[in-house]
Chain A
Amino acid sequence: MEVKLDKRYPLEVDAARAWQVLRDVKAVAGCMPGAEITEQLDATHYKGTVKVKVGPANAAFGGDIEVKQLDEAARRLQLFGKGADRGGSSASMDLTATIEPGESPAASVLVGQAAVVVNGKFAQFGGRMMTQVSDMLLAQFVDNFRAAAAALPGPEASAAPAPAPQAAREINGLAILWNLIKGWLAGLFGKRA
Protein backbone atom coordinates (compact mmCIF):
# COMPACT_ATOMS: atom_id res chain seq x y z
CA MET A 1 0.00 0.00 0.00
CA GLU A 2 1.46 3.30 -1.05
CA VAL A 3 0.61 6.71 0.34
CA LYS A 4 1.93 9.82 -1.35
CA LEU A 5 2.25 12.92 0.78
CA ASP A 6 2.83 16.45 -0.40
CA LYS A 7 2.69 18.98 2.39
CA ARG A 8 3.61 22.57 3.19
CA TYR A 9 3.91 23.66 6.81
CA PRO A 10 4.52 27.34 7.57
CA LEU A 11 7.04 27.80 10.36
CA GLU A 12 7.41 30.84 12.59
CA VAL A 13 11.20 30.55 12.56
CA ASP A 14 13.67 31.84 10.04
CA ALA A 15 14.90 29.58 7.27
CA ALA A 16 18.45 29.30 8.62
CA ARG A 17 17.37 27.85 11.95
CA ALA A 18 14.81 25.58 10.34
CA TRP A 19 17.47 24.24 8.02
CA GLN A 20 19.78 23.68 10.93
CA VAL A 21 17.27 21.20 12.36
CA LEU A 22 16.44 19.61 9.08
CA ARG A 23 20.03 18.93 8.07
CA ASP A 24 20.56 16.95 11.27
CA VAL A 25 19.03 13.53 10.70
CA LYS A 26 19.15 12.71 14.37
CA ALA A 27 17.26 15.88 15.22
CA VAL A 28 14.70 15.17 12.52
CA ALA A 29 14.19 11.69 13.88
CA GLY A 30 13.80 13.16 17.35
CA CYS A 31 10.88 15.22 16.09
CA MET A 32 9.08 12.14 14.78
CA PRO A 33 6.92 10.59 17.49
CA GLY A 34 8.14 7.07 18.23
CA ALA A 35 11.25 7.37 16.09
CA GLU A 36 14.84 7.17 17.15
CA ILE A 37 18.26 6.96 15.50
CA THR A 38 20.05 4.10 17.20
CA GLU A 39 23.31 4.04 15.31
CA GLN A 40 25.24 6.10 12.78
CA LEU A 41 27.07 3.83 10.35
CA ASP A 42 28.85 6.46 8.27
CA ALA A 43 28.30 10.01 7.06
CA THR A 44 25.09 9.15 5.25
CA HIS A 45 23.87 5.88 6.72
CA TYR A 46 21.99 5.36 9.95
CA LYS A 47 20.08 2.68 11.76
CA GLY A 48 16.87 3.56 13.50
CA THR A 49 13.60 2.37 14.98
CA VAL A 50 9.98 3.53 14.80
CA LYS A 51 7.25 2.22 17.06
CA VAL A 52 3.66 2.63 15.93
CA LYS A 53 0.35 1.42 17.26
CA VAL A 54 -2.74 1.93 15.15
CA GLY A 55 -5.86 0.12 16.19
CA PRO A 56 -5.07 -3.59 16.03
CA ALA A 57 -1.86 -3.03 14.09
CA ASN A 58 1.16 -2.77 16.29
CA ALA A 59 4.56 -2.44 14.74
CA ALA A 60 8.12 -1.78 15.81
CA PHE A 61 10.06 -1.09 12.65
CA GLY A 62 13.80 -1.42 12.72
CA GLY A 63 15.70 -0.40 9.63
CA ASP A 64 18.15 1.66 7.66
CA ILE A 65 18.16 5.28 6.66
CA GLU A 66 20.23 6.64 3.87
CA VAL A 67 20.73 10.36 3.30
CA LYS A 68 20.74 10.58 -0.45
CA GLN A 69 21.16 14.30 -0.75
CA LEU A 70 21.91 17.18 1.57
CA ASP A 71 21.81 20.35 -0.49
CA GLU A 72 22.92 23.28 1.69
CA ALA A 73 22.26 25.85 -0.99
CA ALA A 74 18.74 24.73 -1.71
CA ARG A 75 18.20 23.70 1.93
CA ARG A 76 16.98 20.35 0.74
CA LEU A 77 17.22 16.94 2.39
CA GLN A 78 16.49 13.75 0.55
CA LEU A 79 16.47 10.49 2.42
CA PHE A 80 15.34 6.94 2.01
CA GLY A 81 14.33 4.80 4.93
CA LYS A 82 13.39 1.19 4.96
CA GLY A 83 12.52 -1.16 7.72
CA ALA A 84 10.67 -4.22 8.86
CA ASP A 85 9.05 -5.36 12.03
CA ARG A 86 9.01 -8.83 13.48
CA GLY A 87 5.27 -9.17 13.39
CA GLY A 88 5.26 -9.34 9.61
CA SER A 89 5.15 -5.76 8.34
CA SER A 90 7.60 -3.73 6.35
CA ALA A 91 7.72 -0.12 5.28
CA SER A 92 9.81 2.26 3.24
CA MET A 93 9.78 6.01 2.80
CA ASP A 94 11.27 8.16 0.12
CA LEU A 95 11.31 11.68 1.51
CA THR A 96 12.34 15.03 0.12
CA ALA A 97 12.12 17.94 2.53
CA THR A 98 12.99 21.52 1.72
CA ILE A 99 13.07 24.72 3.73
CA GLU A 100 11.70 27.56 1.65
CA PRO A 101 11.73 31.22 2.61
CA GLY A 102 8.57 32.38 4.32
CA GLU A 103 6.48 35.52 3.94
CA SER A 104 8.79 37.41 6.26
CA PRO A 105 12.46 36.98 7.09
CA ALA A 106 11.40 35.57 10.46
CA ALA A 107 9.32 32.83 8.86
CA SER A 108 9.90 29.88 6.59
CA VAL A 109 8.03 26.95 5.09
CA LEU A 110 8.78 23.28 5.51
CA VAL A 111 7.89 21.57 2.25
CA GLY A 112 7.81 17.81 2.20
CA GLN A 113 7.07 15.19 -0.40
CA ALA A 114 7.08 11.57 0.59
CA ALA A 115 6.12 8.24 -0.84
CA VAL A 116 5.45 5.75 1.93
CA VAL A 117 5.03 2.10 1.06
CA VAL A 118 3.71 -0.23 3.72
CA ASN A 119 3.48 -4.00 3.39
CA GLY A 120 2.20 -6.89 5.44
CA LYS A 121 -0.08 -6.83 8.46
CA PHE A 122 0.32 -3.11 8.95
CA ALA A 123 -1.03 -2.42 5.47
CA GLN A 124 -3.78 -4.98 5.87
CA PHE A 125 -5.09 -3.74 9.19
CA GLY A 126 -4.08 -0.14 9.17
CA GLY A 127 -4.45 0.51 5.44
CA ARG A 128 -7.74 2.31 5.64
CA MET A 129 -6.43 4.78 8.22
CA MET A 130 -3.05 5.37 6.61
CA THR A 131 -3.75 8.82 5.23
CA GLN A 132 -5.39 10.11 8.37
CA VAL A 133 -2.71 8.60 10.56
CA SER A 134 0.04 10.05 8.40
CA ASP A 135 -1.53 13.49 8.65
CA MET A 136 -1.72 13.12 12.39
CA LEU A 137 1.87 11.99 12.70
CA LEU A 138 3.10 14.78 10.47
CA ALA A 139 1.20 17.36 12.47
CA GLN A 140 2.92 16.12 15.63
CA PHE A 141 6.22 16.04 13.79
CA VAL A 142 5.85 19.63 12.64
CA ASP A 143 4.95 20.81 16.12
CA ASN A 144 8.11 19.20 17.45
CA PHE A 145 10.11 20.51 14.53
CA ARG A 146 8.93 24.06 15.17
CA ALA A 147 9.81 23.77 18.81
CA ALA A 148 13.24 22.37 18.04
CA ALA A 149 13.97 25.10 15.51
CA ALA A 150 12.68 27.86 17.78
CA ALA A 151 14.90 26.55 20.54
CA LEU A 152 18.05 27.19 18.55
CA PRO A 153 19.83 30.46 19.18
CA GLY A 154 18.33 32.74 16.55
CA PRO A 155 19.49 35.90 14.85
CA GLU A 156 17.88 38.02 17.61
CA ALA A 157 19.32 35.70 20.25
CA SER A 158 16.08 34.27 21.49
CA ALA A 159 16.13 33.84 25.21
CA ALA A 160 13.91 30.81 25.30
CA PRO A 161 15.71 27.91 26.93
CA ALA A 162 16.29 24.89 24.74
CA PRO A 163 13.75 22.21 25.56
CA ALA A 164 15.08 18.93 26.80
CA PRO A 165 15.57 16.48 23.94
CA GLN A 166 12.44 14.47 23.53
CA ALA A 167 12.59 10.94 24.68
CA ALA A 168 11.58 8.55 21.93
CA ARG A 169 8.12 7.44 22.85
CA GLU A 170 5.91 5.15 20.91
CA ILE A 171 3.18 6.62 18.86
CA ASN A 172 0.09 6.25 20.94
CA GLY A 173 -2.85 4.67 19.19
CA LEU A 174 -5.43 6.08 21.60
CA ALA A 175 -4.14 9.60 21.22
CA ILE A 176 -4.23 9.20 17.47
CA LEU A 177 -7.75 7.88 17.62
CA TRP A 178 -8.82 10.78 19.80
CA ASN A 179 -7.24 13.24 17.40
CA LEU A 180 -8.95 11.55 14.48
CA ILE A 181 -12.32 11.83 16.23
CA LYS A 182 -11.62 15.44 17.14
CA GLY A 183 -10.70 16.18 13.57
CA TRP A 184 -13.79 14.48 12.28
CA LEU A 185 -16.07 16.33 14.69
CA ALA A 186 -14.40 19.62 13.85
CA GLY A 187 -15.01 18.86 10.19
CA LEU A 188 -18.66 18.19 10.87
CA PHE A 189 -19.25 21.39 12.78
CA GLY A 190 -16.97 23.35 10.52
CA LYS A 191 -19.22 22.54 7.59
CA ARG A 192 -22.29 23.76 9.40
CA ALA A 193 -20.74 26.94 10.64
Chain B
Amino acid sequence: MLSKLKALWRTMTRPAKHISLGVLTLGGFLAGVIFWGGFNTALEASNTEEFCIGCHEMRDNVYVELQQTVHWSNHSGVRATCPDCHVPHNWTDKIARKMQASKELWGTIFGTIDTREKFLAKRLELATHEWDRLSANGSLECKNCHEYASMDWDAMSEVARTQMEQAAERDQSCIDCHKGIAHELPESMAAASGALAGLQRQATSRFNPGQQYFSIRQLPLFTDSALSQEAGILNSGSVITVVAQQGDALQVEIDGWRKTKGFGRVINEEFGQNIREVTLEKEVATDDSMIQGFEVQEDPLTGLPWQRVSFQLWMGKDDLVDDREILWQEASELYVKNCSTCHSQPEEAHFDTNTWPGMWAGMLSFVNLDGDTQELVLKYLQKHSSDYSDGHH
Protein backbone atom coordinates (compact mmCIF):
# COMPACT_ATOMS: atom_id res chain seq x y z
CA MET B 1 0.00 0.00 0.00
CA LEU B 2 2.71 2.40 1.02
CA SER B 3 4.80 1.80 -2.08
CA LYS B 4 1.74 2.16 -4.27
CA LEU B 5 0.87 5.42 -2.57
CA LYS B 6 4.42 6.61 -3.01
CA ALA B 7 4.32 5.76 -6.69
CA LEU B 8 1.02 7.55 -7.08
CA TRP B 9 2.40 10.49 -5.17
CA ARG B 10 5.38 10.71 -7.49
CA THR B 11 3.40 10.49 -10.66
CA MET B 12 0.88 13.01 -9.55
CA THR B 13 3.08 15.65 -8.04
CA ARG B 14 5.95 15.69 -10.46
CA PRO B 15 4.11 17.04 -13.48
CA ALA B 16 2.66 19.93 -11.51
CA LYS B 17 6.15 20.99 -10.63
CA HIS B 18 8.20 20.36 -13.70
CA ILE B 19 6.01 19.81 -16.70
CA SER B 20 4.32 22.61 -18.53
CA LEU B 21 0.67 23.41 -18.13
CA GLY B 22 0.11 22.11 -21.64
CA VAL B 23 1.23 18.62 -20.74
CA LEU B 24 -0.70 18.85 -17.52
CA THR B 25 -3.82 19.79 -19.38
CA LEU B 26 -3.33 17.00 -21.84
CA GLY B 27 -2.85 14.58 -18.96
CA GLY B 28 -6.02 15.79 -17.34
CA PHE B 29 -7.83 15.47 -20.62
CA LEU B 30 -6.69 11.89 -21.18
CA ALA B 31 -7.57 10.99 -17.65
CA GLY B 32 -11.01 12.44 -18.25
CA VAL B 33 -11.51 10.39 -21.38
CA ILE B 34 -10.31 7.14 -19.89
CA PHE B 35 -12.06 7.37 -16.57
CA TRP B 36 -15.07 9.24 -17.83
CA GLY B 37 -17.60 7.30 -15.83
CA GLY B 38 -16.18 6.70 -12.39
CA PHE B 39 -13.69 9.48 -12.38
CA ASN B 40 -16.16 12.27 -12.81
CA THR B 41 -18.42 10.95 -10.10
CA ALA B 42 -15.52 10.70 -7.66
CA LEU B 43 -14.47 14.15 -8.62
CA GLU B 44 -17.85 15.62 -7.86
CA ALA B 45 -17.98 13.77 -4.58
CA SER B 46 -14.64 15.22 -3.59
CA ASN B 47 -15.97 18.66 -4.40
CA THR B 48 -18.24 18.94 -1.41
CA GLU B 49 -17.77 20.55 1.95
CA GLU B 50 -18.36 17.19 3.67
CA PHE B 51 -15.42 15.71 1.84
CA CYS B 52 -13.14 18.61 2.77
CA ILE B 53 -13.92 18.48 6.48
CA GLY B 54 -13.84 14.72 6.49
CA CYS B 55 -10.43 14.89 8.05
CA HIS B 56 -9.90 16.65 11.33
CA GLU B 57 -7.01 18.88 10.12
CA MET B 58 -9.45 20.85 8.06
CA ARG B 59 -12.42 20.54 10.38
CA ASP B 60 -10.62 21.67 13.53
CA ASN B 61 -8.53 24.45 12.08
CA VAL B 62 -9.57 26.34 9.00
CA TYR B 63 -13.23 25.29 9.08
CA VAL B 64 -13.74 26.70 12.57
CA GLU B 65 -12.05 29.92 11.54
CA LEU B 66 -14.24 30.25 8.47
CA GLN B 67 -17.33 30.14 10.72
CA GLN B 68 -16.29 33.42 12.30
CA THR B 69 -16.24 35.30 9.02
CA VAL B 70 -18.65 37.05 6.72
CA HIS B 71 -18.17 34.35 4.14
CA TRP B 72 -19.96 31.99 6.51
CA SER B 73 -22.68 34.11 7.96
CA ASN B 74 -24.10 37.36 6.61
CA HIS B 75 -27.37 39.17 6.14
CA SER B 76 -27.93 37.93 2.61
CA GLY B 77 -27.71 34.27 3.55
CA VAL B 78 -25.23 33.37 0.87
CA ARG B 79 -22.48 31.10 2.14
CA ALA B 80 -19.14 30.27 0.58
CA THR B 81 -18.00 26.76 1.41
CA CYS B 82 -14.56 25.23 0.98
CA PRO B 83 -14.70 24.27 -2.70
CA ASP B 84 -16.15 27.66 -3.70
CA CYS B 85 -12.85 29.31 -2.92
CA HIS B 86 -10.38 26.48 -3.08
CA VAL B 87 -11.38 24.43 -6.08
CA PRO B 88 -11.27 26.07 -9.46
CA HIS B 89 -14.58 26.06 -11.27
CA ASN B 90 -13.04 25.51 -14.61
CA TRP B 91 -12.48 21.82 -15.29
CA THR B 92 -8.84 21.87 -16.39
CA ASP B 93 -7.77 23.96 -13.45
CA LYS B 94 -9.86 21.79 -11.21
CA ILE B 95 -7.83 18.77 -12.22
CA ALA B 96 -4.62 20.65 -11.68
CA ARG B 97 -5.76 21.69 -8.23
CA LYS B 98 -6.79 18.17 -7.34
CA MET B 99 -3.34 16.98 -8.22
CA GLN B 100 -1.83 19.57 -5.94
CA ALA B 101 -4.30 18.67 -3.23
CA SER B 102 -3.01 15.15 -3.11
CA LYS B 103 -0.22 16.68 -1.09
CA GLU B 104 -2.63 17.55 1.70
CA LEU B 105 -3.93 14.01 1.47
CA TRP B 106 -0.38 12.86 1.94
CA GLY B 107 -0.21 15.07 5.00
CA THR B 108 -3.25 13.53 6.58
CA ILE B 109 -2.05 10.01 5.98
CA PHE B 110 1.38 10.64 7.38
CA GLY B 111 0.50 13.11 10.11
CA THR B 112 2.45 16.27 9.20
CA ILE B 113 -0.27 18.57 10.55
CA ASP B 114 -2.16 16.29 12.92
CA THR B 115 -2.05 18.71 15.86
CA ARG B 116 -3.00 22.39 16.13
CA GLU B 117 0.64 23.26 16.89
CA LYS B 118 1.91 21.41 13.86
CA PHE B 119 -0.77 23.05 11.76
CA LEU B 120 0.11 26.54 13.01
CA ALA B 121 3.78 25.92 12.37
CA LYS B 122 2.96 24.89 8.83
CA ARG B 123 0.25 27.51 8.23
CA LEU B 124 2.46 30.03 6.48
CA GLU B 125 3.68 27.41 4.01
CA LEU B 126 0.20 26.07 3.34
CA ALA B 127 -1.29 29.53 3.06
CA THR B 128 1.49 30.59 0.73
CA HIS B 129 0.63 27.75 -1.66
CA GLU B 130 -2.94 28.94 -1.78
CA TRP B 131 -2.00 32.62 -2.10
CA ASP B 132 0.39 31.78 -4.92
CA ARG B 133 -2.35 29.92 -6.70
CA LEU B 134 -4.81 32.79 -6.28
CA SER B 135 -2.18 35.30 -7.32
CA ALA B 136 -1.44 33.32 -10.44
CA ASN B 137 -5.08 33.17 -11.50
CA GLY B 138 -5.92 36.75 -10.48
CA SER B 139 -8.12 35.50 -7.61
CA LEU B 140 -10.43 33.80 -10.04
CA GLU B 141 -12.51 32.05 -7.41
CA CYS B 142 -13.15 35.33 -5.58
CA LYS B 143 -14.16 36.90 -8.84
CA ASN B 144 -16.71 34.17 -9.49
CA CYS B 145 -18.82 36.09 -6.98
CA HIS B 146 -17.13 39.51 -6.64
CA GLU B 147 -16.57 41.52 -9.79
CA TYR B 148 -14.95 44.91 -9.99
CA ALA B 149 -17.39 45.84 -12.71
CA SER B 150 -20.38 45.12 -10.47
CA MET B 151 -19.16 47.09 -7.48
CA ASP B 152 -21.25 50.07 -6.43
CA TRP B 153 -18.59 52.60 -5.56
CA ASP B 154 -21.11 54.96 -4.02
CA ALA B 155 -22.17 52.36 -1.49
CA MET B 156 -18.62 52.13 -0.18
CA SER B 157 -16.95 54.35 2.36
CA GLU B 158 -14.44 56.72 0.83
CA VAL B 159 -11.62 54.82 2.46
CA ALA B 160 -12.72 51.59 0.85
CA ARG B 161 -13.54 53.22 -2.45
CA THR B 162 -10.16 54.90 -2.82
CA GLN B 163 -8.35 51.62 -2.25
CA MET B 164 -10.74 49.54 -4.30
CA GLU B 165 -10.72 51.81 -7.31
CA GLN B 166 -6.96 51.74 -7.43
CA ALA B 167 -7.13 47.96 -7.37
CA ALA B 168 -9.84 47.84 -10.03
CA GLU B 169 -7.81 50.04 -12.32
CA ARG B 170 -5.06 47.44 -12.32
CA ASP B 171 -7.45 44.49 -12.13
CA GLN B 172 -5.49 43.59 -9.05
CA SER B 173 -5.71 40.11 -7.64
CA CYS B 174 -8.06 40.24 -4.60
CA ILE B 175 -5.71 38.19 -2.46
CA ASP B 176 -3.05 40.94 -2.72
CA CYS B 177 -4.94 42.88 -0.06
CA HIS B 178 -7.45 40.43 1.37
CA LYS B 179 -5.25 37.78 2.87
CA GLY B 180 -6.83 36.42 6.03
CA ILE B 181 -10.37 37.19 4.94
CA ALA B 182 -11.67 33.67 5.60
CA HIS B 183 -9.08 32.17 7.90
CA GLU B 184 -6.61 33.53 10.42
CA LEU B 185 -3.34 34.93 9.17
CA PRO B 186 -0.09 33.13 9.89
CA GLU B 187 1.31 34.55 13.10
CA SER B 188 4.40 36.27 11.75
CA MET B 189 2.59 38.10 8.97
CA ALA B 190 3.19 41.81 8.87
CA ALA B 191 0.27 43.95 7.89
CA ALA B 192 2.29 46.26 5.66
CA SER B 193 3.66 44.87 2.47
CA GLY B 194 7.08 45.21 0.90
CA ALA B 195 9.28 48.10 1.79
CA LEU B 196 7.51 49.33 4.88
CA ALA B 197 7.35 45.99 6.68
CA GLY B 198 10.80 46.69 8.13
CA LEU B 199 9.60 49.93 9.67
CA GLN B 200 6.90 48.13 11.60
CA ARG B 201 9.51 46.49 13.75
CA GLN B 202 10.38 49.97 14.96
CA ALA B 203 6.80 50.88 15.78
CA THR B 204 6.22 52.12 19.28
CA SER B 205 3.89 50.45 21.74
CA ARG B 206 4.07 53.06 24.53
CA PHE B 207 2.07 56.25 24.13
CA ASN B 208 2.16 59.37 26.25
CA PRO B 209 -0.64 61.92 26.11
CA GLY B 210 0.52 65.20 24.66
CA GLN B 211 3.30 63.58 22.66
CA GLN B 212 3.55 63.47 18.86
CA TYR B 213 3.69 60.23 16.87
CA PHE B 214 4.10 59.56 13.17
CA SER B 215 2.36 57.09 10.88
CA ILE B 216 4.38 54.45 9.01
CA ARG B 217 1.66 53.89 6.48
CA GLN B 218 -1.89 54.94 5.63
CA LEU B 219 -4.03 54.22 8.70
CA PRO B 220 -7.77 54.37 9.23
CA LEU B 221 -9.25 57.01 11.55
CA PHE B 222 -12.54 56.60 13.40
CA THR B 223 -15.07 58.80 15.12
CA ASP B 224 -15.47 56.40 18.05
CA SER B 225 -13.24 54.63 20.51
CA ALA B 226 -14.64 51.28 19.39
CA LEU B 227 -13.01 52.00 16.06
CA SER B 228 -16.20 51.12 14.22
CA GLN B 229 -17.19 54.38 12.47
CA GLU B 230 -14.69 55.30 9.77
CA ALA B 231 -13.75 58.96 9.70
CA GLY B 232 -10.95 58.96 7.15
CA ILE B 233 -7.37 57.93 6.45
CA LEU B 234 -4.23 59.24 8.06
CA ASN B 235 -1.58 59.47 5.34
CA SER B 236 1.85 57.83 5.55
CA GLY B 237 4.43 59.87 7.43
CA SER B 238 1.84 62.11 9.10
CA VAL B 239 1.92 63.59 12.57
CA ILE B 240 -0.68 63.10 15.29
CA THR B 241 -0.75 64.12 18.95
CA VAL B 242 -2.07 61.58 21.41
CA VAL B 243 -4.87 62.93 23.63
CA ALA B 244 -5.96 59.80 25.44
CA GLN B 245 -5.89 56.00 25.34
CA GLN B 246 -8.74 53.60 25.72
CA GLY B 247 -8.00 49.90 25.36
CA ASP B 248 -6.59 49.32 21.90
CA ALA B 249 -7.59 52.77 20.74
CA LEU B 250 -5.88 56.14 20.80
CA GLN B 251 -7.65 59.44 20.77
CA VAL B 252 -5.55 61.75 18.64
CA GLU B 253 -5.51 65.40 17.73
CA ILE B 254 -4.66 66.55 14.25
CA ASP B 255 -3.94 70.13 13.23
CA GLY B 256 -3.65 71.30 9.68
CA TRP B 257 -4.97 73.39 6.81
CA ARG B 258 -7.53 72.73 4.12
CA LYS B 259 -8.68 74.43 0.98
CA THR B 260 -12.17 75.83 1.16
CA LYS B 261 -12.99 74.80 -2.41
CA GLY B 262 -14.76 71.42 -2.24
CA PHE B 263 -15.86 69.68 0.95
CA GLY B 264 -12.63 70.29 2.80
CA ARG B 265 -11.86 66.58 2.97
CA VAL B 266 -8.13 66.88 2.43
CA ILE B 267 -6.16 68.16 5.40
CA ASN B 268 -2.63 69.36 4.69
CA GLU B 269 0.16 69.84 7.16
CA GLU B 270 0.87 73.48 6.52
CA PHE B 271 -0.67 76.55 4.94
CA GLY B 272 -0.30 76.62 1.16
CA GLN B 273 1.68 73.38 1.04
CA ASN B 274 0.03 70.32 -0.49
CA ILE B 275 1.47 67.89 2.04
CA ARG B 276 -1.43 65.58 2.72
CA GLU B 277 -2.00 64.61 6.31
CA VAL B 278 -5.53 63.24 6.36
CA THR B 279 -8.31 62.39 3.94
CA LEU B 280 -11.63 62.77 5.74
CA GLU B 281 -14.99 61.24 4.97
CA LYS B 282 -17.40 63.85 3.65
CA GLU B 283 -19.75 63.57 6.66
CA VAL B 284 -16.88 64.25 9.01
CA ALA B 285 -15.29 67.00 6.94
CA THR B 286 -18.54 68.92 6.73
CA ASP B 287 -19.52 68.41 10.37
CA ASP B 288 -18.72 71.63 12.23
CA SER B 289 -19.13 69.89 15.56
CA MET B 290 -16.21 67.62 14.71
CA ILE B 291 -13.90 69.98 12.85
CA GLN B 292 -12.87 73.14 14.59
CA GLY B 293 -12.22 75.87 12.04
CA PHE B 294 -9.94 78.86 12.54
CA GLU B 295 -8.64 81.68 10.35
CA VAL B 296 -8.88 81.65 6.54
CA GLN B 297 -6.00 82.89 4.41
CA GLU B 298 -5.63 83.16 0.65
CA ASP B 299 -2.73 81.30 -0.94
CA PRO B 300 -1.19 83.91 -3.23
CA LEU B 301 0.16 81.32 -5.69
CA THR B 302 -3.22 79.75 -6.47
CA GLY B 303 -5.75 82.30 -5.25
CA LEU B 304 -7.44 79.57 -3.18
CA PRO B 305 -8.51 80.30 0.41
CA TRP B 306 -7.10 77.94 3.05
CA GLN B 307 -8.55 77.41 6.50
CA ARG B 308 -6.70 76.28 9.60
CA VAL B 309 -8.44 73.37 11.33
CA SER B 310 -8.08 71.12 14.32
CA PHE B 311 -9.96 67.95 15.23
CA GLN B 312 -9.85 64.85 17.37
CA LEU B 313 -10.45 61.30 16.15
CA TRP B 314 -9.71 57.74 17.20
CA MET B 315 -7.30 55.22 15.74
CA GLY B 316 -5.55 51.93 16.47
CA LYS B 317 -2.15 51.70 18.09
CA ASP B 318 -0.30 49.93 15.33
CA ASP B 319 2.21 51.37 12.90
CA LEU B 320 3.17 54.57 14.70
CA VAL B 321 6.70 55.66 15.52
CA ASP B 322 7.81 58.33 17.97
CA ASP B 323 10.60 59.74 15.80
CA ARG B 324 9.96 61.00 12.29
CA GLU B 325 13.63 60.56 11.37
CA ILE B 326 13.08 56.80 11.39
CA LEU B 327 10.59 57.29 8.56
CA TRP B 328 12.72 59.79 6.67
CA GLN B 329 15.73 57.51 6.73
CA GLU B 330 13.80 54.64 5.19
CA ALA B 331 12.12 56.94 2.67
CA SER B 332 15.43 58.46 1.70
CA GLU B 333 16.89 55.04 0.96
CA LEU B 334 13.83 54.02 -1.03
CA TYR B 335 13.99 57.24 -3.03
CA VAL B 336 17.66 56.98 -3.84
CA LYS B 337 17.41 53.33 -4.83
CA ASN B 338 14.22 53.41 -6.85
CA CYS B 339 14.78 56.70 -8.62
CA SER B 340 18.30 56.05 -9.82
CA THR B 341 17.40 53.05 -11.96
CA CYS B 342 17.29 55.16 -15.13
CA HIS B 343 18.97 58.44 -14.13
CA SER B 344 20.56 60.11 -11.16
CA GLN B 345 17.82 61.10 -8.74
CA PRO B 346 17.31 64.87 -8.39
CA GLU B 347 18.31 66.38 -5.05
CA GLU B 348 15.37 66.55 -2.68
CA ALA B 349 15.78 70.33 -2.55
CA HIS B 350 15.80 70.69 -6.32
CA PHE B 351 12.04 71.21 -6.39
CA ASP B 352 9.71 72.99 -4.01
CA THR B 353 6.99 71.34 -1.95
CA ASN B 354 4.18 71.86 -4.40
CA THR B 355 6.20 70.89 -7.48
CA TRP B 356 7.20 67.48 -6.11
CA PRO B 357 3.74 65.87 -6.45
CA GLY B 358 3.73 66.69 -10.17
CA MET B 359 7.23 65.37 -10.77
CA TRP B 360 6.46 62.31 -8.65
CA ALA B 361 3.20 61.57 -10.48
CA GLY B 362 5.01 61.97 -13.77
CA MET B 363 7.59 59.29 -13.02
CA LEU B 364 5.62 56.76 -10.93
CA SER B 365 5.08 54.37 -13.81
CA PHE B 366 8.74 53.47 -13.60
CA VAL B 367 8.96 52.51 -9.93
CA ASN B 368 7.76 49.47 -8.06
CA LEU B 369 6.29 51.00 -4.91
CA ASP B 370 2.95 50.22 -3.30
CA GLY B 371 0.52 52.98 -2.31
CA ASP B 372 1.69 53.30 1.30
CA THR B 373 5.29 53.59 0.20
CA GLN B 374 4.59 56.07 -2.59
CA GLU B 375 2.89 58.33 -0.10
CA LEU B 376 5.71 58.07 2.40
CA VAL B 377 8.44 58.82 -0.14
CA LEU B 378 6.47 61.73 -1.59
CA LYS B 379 6.01 63.20 1.86
CA TYR B 380 9.71 62.79 2.55
CA LEU B 381 10.54 64.64 -0.67
CA GLN B 382 8.08 67.42 0.11
CA LYS B 383 9.38 67.84 3.65
CA HIS B 384 12.95 68.04 2.32
CA SER B 385 12.17 70.25 -0.67
CA SER B 386 13.67 73.66 -1.37
CA ASP B 387 11.05 75.17 0.97
CA TYR B 388 12.67 73.37 3.90
CA SER B 389 16.29 73.55 2.83
CA ASP B 390 18.62 76.48 3.14
CA GLY B 391 21.44 74.74 1.29
CA HIS B 392 22.78 76.37 -1.86
CA HIS B 393 21.59 74.56 -4.86
- Is the pairing of A and B real? no
